Each structure stands twice: as C-alpha cells, then as structure tokens.
Homo-oligomer: A and B are copies of this chain.
C-alpha cells in the first residue's frame, strides 16, 4: 500500500479549479479515456477502463499508454501546487515496468515527492486490483517537472 510522505500545501487556494481547467484543455487525456478522480495539493488519482485501443501486441496494456498515464498524474499533481497562471512542463521521465498490465480497469496515482520553486520531483504508479482486492503494480515512474 502506498504511503504518502506528508501533506503538501498549494501556492494556489483555487488549486482544484486551476488543475481541472488544465485537464479540460488536454485533448489526449479524453481520447485515452482516462478520468481524474481525486485532486489534492500535490496528489492526483485517476482511473481508466481497459479498451482494445490500449493494447500492445500481446493484448496487454501498452507501455506507451502507461507512460502517458504517469506523465499526466505526475504533471497534474505538479499543477495542483503552483500559483495561478504558472505552467508546468515535463523535463524528463523514467518508467519501470513491474508487471504485465492485464485487467479490466487500471488505477493510477501521481504525487510531488519533493516540491521546489523551479522544479518538482514527482513519482507515480499504475496498478490494478487482483481478486483479493490487492494492488498489483504495473509500472512505477519518476519525473522532473519544471515550473515556469
């Protein structure tokens, strides 16, 4: 089970509104069928039903879809901390593939692990729930987000 280190404070009192505004302008997230289900300062949760379009050659969740999901939960976690009007850009990101993605639904969470004025170091994970209701990690990510 995931354990967030500590509560973060946003520089934007209207952080949820601002983050939703940015999410609303993102075309790819809609097309992918991913839904943001929780927005807290420096923390995002999302979920996505697994559809045929998300498959790689073996019928599993495509690694590129996993990368895209992590980029978004990490990036919007970063957006939830910054001042109104600030932009967030991904500088770089790494993803490690822990388990094959075979499930009808995928969940993800992204968080700012270390906030800063110029950068946010973010982390994220994608998982599904097995028959026992336990989280099975599909992929873990780390990313550097620039605040501009």
Chain A interface residues toward B at CB < 8 A: 1, 3, 5, 22-23, 25-28, 31-32, 52-58, 62-65, 67-69, 71-72, 75, 87, 89-99, 113-114, 118-119, 121, 137, 140, 142, 144, 146
The answer to whether B75 and A69 have CB atoms under 8 Å apart is no
The answer to whether A27 and B1 have CB atoms under 8 Å apart is no
A49 to B126, CA, bound (A): 29
A69 to B65, CA, bound (A): 10
A27 to B140, CA, bound (A): 23
> What 11 additional pairs, Cβ within 8 angstroms, besides A64-B69, A140-B142?
A27-B54, A28-B55, A32-B64, A63-B68, A64-B72, A68-B68, A91-B144, A92-B144, A93-B94, A96-B142, A96-B144
Q: Which of these, B32, B114, B142, contacts A142 with CB under 8 Å? A: B142
| A123 → chain B closest CB, angstroms | 8
Interfacial chain B residues near A25, Cβ < 8 Å: 57-58
